[in-house]
Amino acid sequence: MRIVRSGFLGLVLSVAAGCGSGAPATFPHQLLAADGHAILLDDVKVIVNNTDLTDDDKRAQLRDLGIDDEKLIDALLTL
């Protein structure tokens, strides 16, 4: 009985070790900046929802983030 429990525990630990490995997930249509890093929606939200920034400031920060499509920037600012 003790061998079965330790085998089960080993299985559970090995499965748990593989979950949340910290490797970034990639998606087929993921928005990428010019340098290849992923543009995260959370980063966009922080900029768009910042009431201390003017629209021009928000546009500049979205460009700095790696978004260069002006139509996309316009759409993001209307959220």
Domain extents for the chain? 28-79
Residue 66 host element (H or E): none
Which one has a higher pLDDT value, 39 or 54?
Answer: 54
**Matching residue, tokens 């630990």:** 13
Phi and psi at residue 38, in whole multiples of 5°? -75, 140
Q: What is the pLDDT of residue 36?
A: 82
Give the C-alpha distances (Å, rounded to integers) separating 48 from 12, 61, 62. 42, 9, 8
Name the percent of the chain in helix, strand, coil, to the closest 5: 55, 5, 40
Q: What is the pTM of this model?
A: 0.61
Residues 41-67 have pLDDT tens digits of 899 999 999 999 999 999 999 999 999
